[in-house]
Amino acid sequence: MRMETVAEVETKLRELAGVLLAEGKVDVVIGYERGTLPLRTTPCFIREAEAAGKLVWDATCEHNLARYLRSQRGRVAIVAKGCDARAITVLLSERQLARDQLFIIGVACQGVVDRRKVQAYLADRELQQATLAGAQVVFGGEGWQESLPLKELLWDGCLTCRQHTPLLYDALIGEPLAGDSEGALEEYADVAALEAMTADERWAHFSSELSRCLRCYACRQACPLCYCPECFVDQTQPAWCGKTDETTDLITFHIVRALHSAGRCADCGACSRACPVGIDLRSLNRKLIKDIKQWYGYEAGLDPDALAPLATFRPDDPQEFIE
């Protein structure tokens, strides 16, 4: 079976979005449009069928658009990758969305570009243009042009992804992709490295990572599952967390936020990608993802009717961790 090209997928996406809007089936389509910088896209909100031509789809569509769903009114269509669809599934299971007001345009995704890998590759060179040419990324600047395999620039989470094709959708654009792709990294190799550390080594690792936090809360703002009207870190009566840049206060914020996402995190990586100083937030989240899967046999975002283990109770729930 011939795989559809990115251009063909993009054309079908635009056509479907145009039809949904023209026929009044949705009030808005949330998708991606070309950004102002090379290899960048930005979320867009299409309300007129004539504007559907702005929509794009390729490996630069990194944002988890589920973040915007709760703020929309009326009938909404959304472009969703595999991890995005998992986040939507969690929001549905937590009664944050009405399924009959949502049209999910699933798109098979082979991975998204990691901007930090691009920056590391470029070093101090100025990037003036870049294009995705099949499995290659072509870079160019004043007096130079080079290409690099796309797989070398993919976000690490994409290398262990098991849901390249969304599990939940109303229309699927593009051919389904194998979830367990050839050559994929060991799913929890990063977590195993953390677990191999002593308690002191782990404390030193996370203290070093989290001490760089700027308290900008970009991780919280990018996460589709951080939707509390008032975050615990902003509460003053009682004050759950200090406002200083002391390492203890920084660690408290990140650990509590991770625990609030335990059994809910879809491992989309939006928090890590949003961090302006590159803190490794994903390893902390993935440790909890692994534990929830090991203890309860549960993975977030696979079943919209299933409640997260930490939101339910069964007499036979494992309790070794509190003994």
Q: Which is it for strands 76-80 and 41-46: parallel, antiparallel or unpaired?
A: unpaired
DSSP element (H, E) containing 282: helix 281-296
Q: Which residues contact 213 (CB under 8 A, 6 or more apart)?
A: 245, 250, 253, 254, 277, 279
The confidence score (pLDDT) of residue 13 equals: 96
Same domain, 31 and 166: yes
Count the alpha carbons within 13 Å of 177 in the hemisphere toward its beta carbon: 23
Answer yes or no: is 134 within a domain: no
Answer yes or no: is 57 within a domain: yes
Answer yes or no: is 95 within a domain: yes
Same domain, 45 and 175: yes
**Domain C-terminal end among 145, 179, 213:** 179
**Mean pLDDT, the chain cut into blocks of 10 residues (323 residues total):** 77 97 97 94 97 95 96 96 96 94 95 92 88 88 89 91 92 78 62 92 91 93 93 83 85 91 93 93 91 90 85 76 63
Q: Domain residues for 169?
A: 1-114+156-179
Answer yes or no: is 228 within a domain: yes
The confidence score (pLDDT) of residue 305 equals: 85
Residues 28, 46: contact at Cβ < 8 Å?
yes
Query: What is the tally of structural domains in the chain?
Result: 2
**Domain C-terminal end among 179, 194, 226:** 179
Answer yes or no: is 123 within a domain: no
SS3 state of residue 113: strand
**Domain C-terminal end among 179, 211, 230:** 179
Same domain, 287 and 220: yes
The amino acid present at 187, given as its one-letter code, is E
Rounded CA separation 323/320 (Å): 5
Q: Which residues contact 19 (CB under 8 A, 6 or more apart)?
A: 25, 49
Same domain, 43 and 164: yes
Whether the ω angle into residue 238 lies within 30 degrees of 0, i.e. cis, is yes
Same domain, 171 and 216: no
Same domain, 197 and 278: yes
The confidence score (pLDDT) of residue 171 equals: 97
Answer yes or no: is 144 within a domain: no
The confidence score (pLDDT) of residue 190 equals: 83
DSSP string, 225-267: T---SS-GGG--TT--S--S--HHHHHHHHHHHHHHTTTT---
User: Within a 10 A sphere around the Cβ of 10, how many other Cβ atoms?
Assistant: 20
Count the alpha carbons within 13 Å of 282 in the hemisphere toward its beta carbon: 20
The confidence score (pLDDT) of residue 186 equals: 67
Local structure of residue 154 (DSSP, 8 states): B
The confidence score (pLDDT) of residue 178 equals: 66
Same domain, 161 and 202: no
- Return the sign of the alpha-carbon dihedral for residues 65, 71, 72, 76: positive
Same domain, 248 and 210: yes
DSSP string, 63-77: S-GGGGGGG--S-EE
Answer yes or no: is 308 within a domain: yes
User: Where does residue 169 fall: left (phi above 0), alpha (psi -120 to 50 degrees), or beta otherwise?
Assistant: beta
- Return the sign of the alpha-carbon dihedral for residues 123, 125, 131, 135: negative
Same domain, 225 and 311: yes
The confidence score (pLDDT) of residue 179 equals: 55
Same domain, 6 and 33: yes
Same domain, 107 and 198: no
Answer yes or no: is 145 within a domain: no
Q: Output the CA–CA distances (angstroms, integers) from residue 306 to 60, 110, 125, in the order listed.
A: 32, 27, 49
SS3 state of residue 96: coil
Same domain, 263 and 200: yes
Q: What is the pTM of this model?
A: 0.90
**Residue spans of beta strands (DSSP E) within the chain:** 28-34, 41-46, 76-80, 102-107, 129-133, 136-141, 144-149, 171-173
The confidence score (pLDDT) of residue 61 equals: 95
The b-or-e profile of 132-159 (16+ CB within 10 A means b, else e) is beeeebebeeeeeeeeeebeebbbbbbb
Structure tokens at 94: 């937590």
